[in-house]
Amino acid sequence: MDILVTGGAGFIGGHLAEAFVVDGHNVTVIDNLKPFYDIGLKQHTIEQCQSAANEHTGSYEFIQGDIRNADLVGELVEEMDAVVHQAAQAGVRASVENPREVTATNVDGTVNLLQSSVEADVERVLIASSSSVYGKAQYLPYDEDHPTEPVSPYGVSKLATEELARVYSELHSLSTVCLRYFTVYGPRMRPNMAISNFVSRCMNGEAPVIYGSGKQTRDFTHVSDVVKANQTLLEADVVGGDILNIGSTDTISIEKLATLIRDELAPELDLRYEAEQEADAAHTHADVSKAREAIGYDPSIGIELGVTEFIQWYRSNRDWYEPLVRNS
């Protein structure tokens, strides 16, 4: 299968691109290499994918470009069987500071992908959405019917992305599926994520910093479970325009997470508390029963095991990864 992965040098996109290559697919990646965080991490991901292509039957091509470039997107999509759309201007807090950038990338860029996919008669379009579309919880866990009232421009942009996918599916019979990811983590995660930040600080004798009370809870999803969901959805028989929660089914408070990491790495440290950040949801918790029924989704890595494995990975890759985290 010929697959275009947008944002394929990023954290989730990079893991997907690598997995597809290992599976024997021909993968083309587009990424603008914007320095939202140290692009050394993206460059390492590109090298990892190229190495995978050298060792497996799948092929890999990287193209530096922006999904807002409609002509470039049209050229790339033309020869594809599937589009796996991960490119986005990420960051809930960053979106509060620069909502125009978020809208231009996440909404306009998605229109380019969807329109080009219709014109190229693409078989399947998988789109990364986010638990941020839910906003304030009216009940937990969130199922896909929960009201969507996002509390950040980022969440609004992702909700608009979902609506665009639905409309293109209804108007043009384009087979789209939107995946609402719940706080994805794992090897090569963004340096500014809570887990990578906590681990880095503890390894360097610095107290983990918690914003707010720490009583906020998160449903942390291991990247390997996200990869499995996307692999299955490439060929699964699903309803066009559908939306699926992709989470872990469990939650942990930020305070407990910081304590878990602190106790494993530097139990002598105290936790540090700072002012709560704008637009952060108080709680996230996924009901994945719909994904389980539709594609057999079964998240396999809980947060405690996932954190332990990440710490092991961090230690093994500390020479190149830690400087990127420390400089972010």
- The total number of structural domains in the chain stands at 1
pLDDT, position 328 = 72
Told to judge if 154 belongs to the known catalytic residues of this protein, a careful annotator would answer yes
pLDDT (average), residues 248-252: 92
Does residue 287 come out as left (phi exceeding 0), alpha (psi in the -120 to 50 range) or beta?
beta
Q: Which of 37, 134, 142, 154 is catalytic?
A: 154
Tell me if 52 is assigned to some domain.
yes
Residue 33 lies in a domain: yes
Q: Is residue 258 part of a domain?
A: no
The arithmetic mean of pLDDT across residues 174-185, rounded, is 97
Report the distance separating Cα 100 and Cα 85, nearest Å: 20
- Per-residue pLDDT of 264-277, as tens digits, reads 999 999 999 999 87
Find, among 232, 70, 95, 81, the residue nearest to 159 by Cα. 95
Residue 139 pLDDT > 70: yes
3-state secondary structure of 193: coil
DSSP 116-172: HHHHTT-SEEEEEEEGGGTBS-SSSSB-TTS--B-SSHHHHHHHHHHHHHHHHHHHH
Position 8 in a domain: yes
Q: Out of 47-56, 98-107, 137-146, 314-323, pick the least confident.
A: 98-107
Instruction: Give me the chain's average pLDDT, please.
Output: 95
- pLDDT range class, residue 279, cuts 50, 70, 90: low
Asked whether residue 307 is domain-assigned, the answer is no
> What pLDDT shows up at residue 170?
96
Residue 230 domain-assigned (yes or no): yes
User: Poorest-confidence range of 120-134, 166-180, 273-287?
Assistant: 273-287
Q: What is the pLDDT of residue 114?
A: 98
User: For the residues 312-328, what does the mean pLDDT come to?
Assistant: 92
**pLDDT for 69:** 97
Residue 144's closest CA among 131, 161, 155, 156? 131
Helix ranges, the chain (H): 11-22, 39-55, 70-77, 92-97, 99-103, 109-119, 153-172, 194-203, 223-233, 254-265, 289-295, 303-316, 318-326
| Sequence-distant (≥ 6) Cβ neighbours of residue 33 within 8 angstroms | 9, 39, 42, 64
Is residue 121 pLDDT above 90, yes or no?
yes
Decide: 168 and 176 in contact? Cβ < 8 Å: yes
Two tokens, residue 305: 């095991």
**Interatomic CA distance for residues 21 and 244, integer angstroms:** 24
For residue 151, the enclosing domain spans 2-181+223-247+281-299
Closest CA to 15 of 42, 40, 39, 54: 42
Confidence of residue 132 (pLDDT cuts 50, 70, 90): very high
- Tell me the per-residue pLDDT of 82-105, one tens digit each, with 9 for 90 and over: 999 999 988 887 888 888 989 999
Task: Name the burial class of residue 271, with classes exposed (0-12), middle (13-18) and buried (19+) by CB atoms within 10 angstroms of its CB.
Answer: middle
Looking at per-residue pLDDT, the higher value among 98 and 135 belongs to: 135
Residue 271 falls within a domain, yes or no? no
Q: Which residues make beta-bridge pairs with 28? A: 4, 61
Measure the N-to-C terminal CA separation of the chain; round to a whole number of Å.
36
pLDDT tens for 42-78 read 999 999 999 999 999 999 999 999 999 999 999 999 9
Q: Is residue 202 part of a domain?
A: no
Residue 280 has pLDDT above 80, yes or no: no
How much is the pLDDT for 199? 97
> In this predicted structure, which of 76-80, 166-170, 239-243, 274-278 has the lowest mean pLDDT?
274-278
Provide the CATH number for the domain around residue 68. 3.40.50.720
pTM of the prediction? 0.96
Which range among 13-27, 88-102, 241-255, 284-298 shows the weakest confidence by mean pLDDT? 88-102
Omega before residue 323 within 30° of 0, cis = no
